[in-house]
Chain A
Amino acid sequence: MTATIPVPADSSPPPVDGVSITVDGVPMTVPKGTMIIRAAEQIGVEVPRFCDHPLLDPVAACRMCLVEIEGQGKPQPACAVAASEGMSVKTQRTSEMAELAQRGVMEFLLINHPLDCPVCDKGGECPLQNQAMEHGRSESRFDLEKRHFDKPINLSAQILLDRERCVSCARCTRFSEQIAGDPLIELFERGSKQQVGIAEDRPFDSYFSGNTVQVCPVGALTSSQYRFRSRPFDLVSVPTVCEHCSSGCGLRTDVRRSTVLRRLAWDTPEVNEEWNCDKGRFAFAHAATPEFDTPLVRGDDGILHAATWPEALERVAEGLADARGRSAVLTGGRLTLEDSLAYSKFARAVLGTDDVDFRARPHSTEEADFLASVVAGSGLGVTYDQLENAPVVVLAGLDPEEESPIVFLRLRKAARKRQLPIASIAAWATPGLGKMFGTLLPTAPGAEGEALSALARGGDTLGSDGRRIAALLNEPGAVILVGERLATCTGALSAAAALAHTTGARLAWIPRRAGERGAVEAGLLPGLLPGGRSLADAQSRAEVAAAWGVSVDDLPTKVGREVDAIVEAARAGAYNALVVAGVDPFDTRRPDDVIAALEAVPFLVSIEVRPSAVTEFADVVLPVSTITQRAGTFVDWEGRTRVFGQVFRTSLALTDARVLAMIADELDRPVGRQDVAGMRKEAAALAPSGSGRREVPSVAASSVSASSGQAVVSTWHHLLDEGTLQRGDDDLAATARTAVARVSAATASAAGLTDFVTLSTDAGSLDLPVVITDMPDGVVWLPTNSHNSNVRRVLGVDHGAIVSLASGGGA
């Protein structure tokens, strides 16, 4: 039997040389450079190991993987020896030397290891247990005193360490240092006292700390969330996809009876490899208890009362009876693809309106044009693998570590392994940029468009770095990544598109929410139909109507309003009804206006999971299933469809699509049953089409500048902040980054700032500690929605706006 490693057809790297070896007498050919331990796995031979991990550089420290290599007197570590032509390897299966060596190491590992299995989380899924059963003694010969440490200790609020259990494989410290770039945990002491630890008062607050719990081959690292909570055999595991950002991570959701107990990263080599971020791993309390058991209807007494579904639907039908053509739909960015398609259909076919927009956040018409022309219907675009192999990646208005952590990990990997040049158009060099060994092209907020245009012109005005990056952008495979905050930087998205066109570089948009790309694909923007089709295009309308099973005459022809215009129109009384799905007014640029709009509209339907600011104004509340009660699909930023299963199979909760179907029935405009399978068929029927595609926007850049005593705001979200979906996990929140305000030294001195600054607008003010940072003058950066720093809610402004600066008192 010969086993050959297939080389994927679409891979970018060139084919590798093969070498012929034998493992336990089995001849095989593997790519040059393959470690023996990997080669053995190809024929189903598992050489025991602890420190080895396919995604970490080998260290050959644990010595568990010792095998015999013909011609070598001493056994060799299979994890660190590369296959070479003609090599003959004998593992423990056919070599006594290997078997005894491994048994010897196993004996050593167990002498100080505490017999904690009865109380250790890892029991039942423990590589040490498993390998001890295979390669260890049944009885110990050790009768001295085992080493003792106080246990557990907190490496952070979230991660706990039982030092006695640690086998010094250093997977955790190597992961943190190599993969995450956060050397906050390290090995301390020497010899038999060696242990993992943190520096005093410097907890392991890395966005990726949870991965160390997953890679730890023993129960030394546990999470406060899961510690002592379950045994693996009580758990049912369901493959799911993360509902937070648009990275598209594959997760494994572990459930016991009706509770999600933990989430792990699912091995998805083309997306998140074997990692996820702490938000995706730990922040699932939001889905734990759906708060609405039944629909709610507001009575004449002005109070919301529980109602049956028939009652509620009847009331909705009443309220929407005169709403055809005089209503709008706000869907938010967290819907699944299936639900997004349902809203897209509902707005146009049932409500006869094109006033539908998913962007419950700062946005612009330029962005809508950009998404409709460049993103919608573009299918699988730039992929993670292409990022890894690009000649250069330019980030514009995007901080991957905060906004798409798995993109960050992949970029860092490429920067480490092949010195991928990465440049960031932003106000300051974030820790994330540093960990990607990236170059900052310092840009004040609002000037991103100009910077991108400068790159298109060769980068001269951006200095030698700009010239270098501009030249690289012309090479095949170059990538430009734009973030959601460019929506409000006039001219920036246009310039990004133009830059891509001029240089031939590929362009990808990375939104912050899991549902946003799917929303674009479903046509949840005015003038945009599913699959990138244009409302204005007759053929598109025909195709869509056919797929939706409605008459093409039922579809509106006039291009509708975007969110800001919808809000304004609602306040002006232009609507009879508003249908709102998971939208948080405080994510928008002007929360007060949104609240006023919700108040003003005669009939408001809120389709949501739990009470929110919208509930207060709703006439009818229709509850829908949480992420764990539904199956669905998210489209990640690459354009890759990521299908997930329903975690709680016996849930009776309904998806948005099903609820909309029931409303449509009630309105006598049936749209079909709209179960998940049905919606997927519809999605397939509406494969991307380029017909009638909107033109790429070309808005001229414009910028703002601040006068003395003021500054332009640069802001983006920290990964862990006060976001709604993170509520409920205090330990995770304790690891979040503290909010600070960053200004240049000159800005601080001009405004007379010392330790604290007060930022104010007409809407309000907030105080933050000052950190002097190398950045353009007249700019202040603060996180968008962290503790003590809620830019939209308190200041009512966003990225690119002007605020006043004054010296502040400390909190």
Chain B
Amino acid sequence: MEIDDTTRDEVRAIIARYPETRSALLPLLHLVQSVEGSVTPDGIEFVAEQLELTPAEVASVATFYTMYKRHRTGRHHIGVCTNSLCALLGGDVVWKSLSDELGIGHDETTADGEFSIERIECQAACTHAPSVTIDWEYFDDATPASVSEVIAKLRAGEPVQSTRGPVIRDFRATEHTLAVTDDGLAGEGPSADHRMLAGLTAAKERGMALQDTAAPASSEGEN
């Protein structure tokens, strides 16, 4: 597998994070996936070499985790949560609509290489059901129409803002973020959206006192 110097440095940095090198296996597979779009046999051999493991040991790990794809993926990955709650609250409808629109099914990629879609498990966004992810960035409270609009915009090369996160980049970029973790985009998106703030909002509406009495009193005269 050919990698450039930047990636080579990233490999080294990732391995150096851990007291034992094998711990770098999962992040390195994300890195490999960010370069090739999936985890290929080449990628497996590369990681095996870096970590002094056998390719079987690496492949064994790669096949355990759902996020590592062993087939060609699209430029964008769209996940629709179809676990019980999301499914009932609209996820199944959103999935069917998406699948019909793109003409592909679960874990499949469009012929033009633009989109892969997947029925995903609980995204820890149950409060925002139905939950959809675009290149794993949150796209909350999804509807068939909102997802369809995303498809159109991405196809047209127009920017799509994730609901809690940055502007959508692509699948490989997200994989890269998972490998390196600090990608400089933490400031993107709101600190919290209205659902995350639901409890705080309800408390403030009812004039409930802040409880962290040891905190410095606010100069802005909050509650």
Do A and B touch (CB < 8 Å)? yes
- Tell me the A residues contacting B by CB distance below 8 Å: 182-190, 197-202
Q: 18 extra interchain contacts, Cβ-Cβ under 8 A, other than A186-B57, A197-B56, A202-B55?
A: A183-B53, A186-B59, A186-B60, A187-B60, A188-B59, A188-B60, A189-B63, A189-B64, A190-B64, A190-B65, A197-B60, A199-B44, A199-B54, A199-B58, A200-B44, A200-B55, A200-B59, A201-B41
Closest to B52 in A: A434
Q: In the complex, what's the smallest C-beta–C-beta distance from A8 to chain B, in angstroms?
A: 38
B residues in contact with A184, CB < 8 Å:
54, 56
A residues in contact with B63, CB < 8 Å:
188-190
- Pick 25 A–B contacts, CB within 8 A, sort by A: A182-B54, A183-B53, A184-B56, A185-B56, A186-B56, A186-B57, A186-B60, A187-B60, A188-B59, A188-B60, A188-B63, A188-B64, A189-B63, A190-B64, A190-B65, A197-B56, A197-B59, A198-B56, A199-B44, A199-B48, A199-B55, A199-B56, A199-B58, A200-B59, A202-B56
A residues in contact with B56, CB < 8 Å:
183-186, 197-199, 202
B residues in contact with A190, CB < 8 Å:
63-65
A residues in contact with B55, CB < 8 Å:
199-200, 202
Q: In the complex, what's the smallest C-beta–C-beta distance from A188 to chain B, in angstroms?
A: 4
How many angstroms between the C-alpha atoms of A185 and B60 in the bound complex? 9
Q: In the complex, what's the smallest C-beta–C-beta distance from A789 to chain B, in angstroms?
A: 24
Closest to A201 in B: B41
Which 7 A-B residue pairs are closest in the complex by CB-CB distance?
Answer: A199-B55, A186-B60, A199-B56, A200-B41, A188-B63, A186-B56, A199-B59
- Tell me the B residues contacting A by CB distance below 8 Å: 41, 44-45, 48, 53-60, 63-65
How many angstroms between the C-alpha atoms of A71 and B2 in the bound complex? 59
Closest to A190 in B: B64
Q: In the complex, what's the smallest C-beta–C-beta distance from A731 to chain B, in angstroms?
A: 20
Q: In the complex, what's the smallest C-beta–C-beta distance from A432 to chain B, in angstroms?
A: 15
A residues in contact with B64, CB < 8 Å:
188-190
How many angstroms between the C-alpha atoms of A143 and B182 in the bound complex? 51
Closest to B44 in A: A199
A residues in contact with B53, CB < 8 Å:
183
Closest to A198 in B: B56
How many angstroms between the C-alpha atoms of A184 and B54 in the bound complex? 7
Closest to A185 in B: B56
B residues in contact with A182, CB < 8 Å:
54
How many angstroms between the C-alpha atoms of A390 and B55 in the bound complex? 34
How many angstroms between the C-alpha atoms of A188 and B68 in the bound complex? 13
A residues in contact with B44, CB < 8 Å:
199-200
Closest to A199 in B: B55
How many angstroms between the C-alpha atoms of A198 and B60 in the bound complex? 8
Q: In the complex, what's the smallest C-beta–C-beta distance from B62 to chain A, in angstroms?
A: 9
How many angstroms between the C-alpha atoms of A318 and B58 in the bound complex? 69
B residues in contact with A183, CB < 8 Å:
53-54, 56-57
How many angstroms between the C-alpha atoms of A190 and B68 in the bound complex? 13
A residues in contact with B48, CB < 8 Å:
199
A residues in contact with B41, CB < 8 Å:
199-201
How many angstroms between the C-alpha atoms of A201 and B59 in the bound complex? 12
Closest to A184 in B: B56
Q: In the complex, what's the smallest C-beta–C-beta distance from B218 to chain A, in angstroms?
A: 49
How many angstroms between the C-alpha atoms of A438 and B131 in the bound complex? 53
How many angstroms between the C-alpha atoms of A182 and B44 in the bound complex? 17
The reply to whether A202 and B60 contact each other, CB–CB distance below 8 Å, is no
How many angstroms between the C-alpha atoms of A199 and B64 in the bound complex? 14
How many angstroms between the C-alpha atoms of A187 and B53 in the bound complex? 15
How many angstroms between the C-alpha atoms of A199 and B53 in the bound complex? 12
How many angstroms between the C-alpha atoms of A195 and B64 in the bound complex? 11
Q: In the complex, what's the smallest C-beta–C-beta distance from B50 to chain A, in angstroms?
A: 15
How many angstroms between the C-alpha atoms of A778 and B103 in the bound complex? 64
How many angstroms between the C-alpha atoms of A188 and B62 in the bound complex? 8
Closest to B64 in A: A190
Closest to B65 in A: A190
Q: In the complex, what's the smallest C-beta–C-beta distance from A500 to chain B, in angstroms?
A: 35
Q: In the complex, what's the smallest C-beta–C-beta distance from B53 to chain A, in angstroms?
A: 8
B residues in contact with A200, CB < 8 Å:
41, 44, 55, 59
Q: In the complex, what's the smallest C-beta–C-beta distance from A351 to chain B, in angstroms?
A: 55
How many angstroms between the C-alpha atoms of A187 and B41 in the bound complex? 16
A residues in contact with B57, CB < 8 Å:
183, 186
How many angstroms between the C-alpha atoms of A171 and B45 in the bound complex? 25
Closest to B57 in A: A183
Residue with the highest number of chain A CB atoms closer than 10 Å, among B56, B57, B60, B63: B56
Contact with B54, one of A187, A188, A189, A202 (Cβ below 8 angstroms): A202
How many angstroms between the C-alpha atoms of A183 and B64 in the bound complex? 16
How many angstroms between the C-alpha atoms of A201 and B41 in the bound complex? 9
Q: In the complex, what's the smallest C-beta–C-beta distance from B60 to chain A, in angstroms?
A: 3
How many angstroms between the C-alpha atoms of A197 and B58 in the bound complex? 12
Closest to A193 in B: B63
Q: In the complex, what's the smallest C-beta–C-beta distance from A430 to chain B, in angstroms?
A: 15
A residues in contact with B45, CB < 8 Å:
199
Q: In the complex, what's the smallest C-beta–C-beta distance from A727 to chain B, in angstroms?
A: 30
Q: In the complex, what's the smallest C-beta–C-beta distance from A149 to chain B, in angstroms?
A: 14
How many angstroms between the C-alpha atoms of A190 and B121 in the bound complex? 15
B residues in contact with A199, CB < 8 Å:
41, 44-45, 48, 54-56, 58-59
B residues in contact with A189, CB < 8 Å:
63-64
Closest to A434 in B: B52
How many angstroms between the C-alpha atoms of A185 and B57 in the bound complex? 8
How many angstroms between the C-alpha atoms of A565 and B54 in the bound complex? 49
B residues in contact with A187, CB < 8 Å:
60
Closest to B58 in A: A199
Closest to B45 in A: A199
Q: In the complex, what's the smallest C-beta–C-beta distance from B216 to chain A, in angstroms?
A: 49
B residues in contact with A186, CB < 8 Å:
56-57, 59-60
Q: In the complex, what's the smallest C-beta–C-beta distance from A206 to chain B, in angstroms?
A: 10
Residue with the highest number of chain B CB atoms closer than 10 Å, among A186, A188, A190, A197: A186
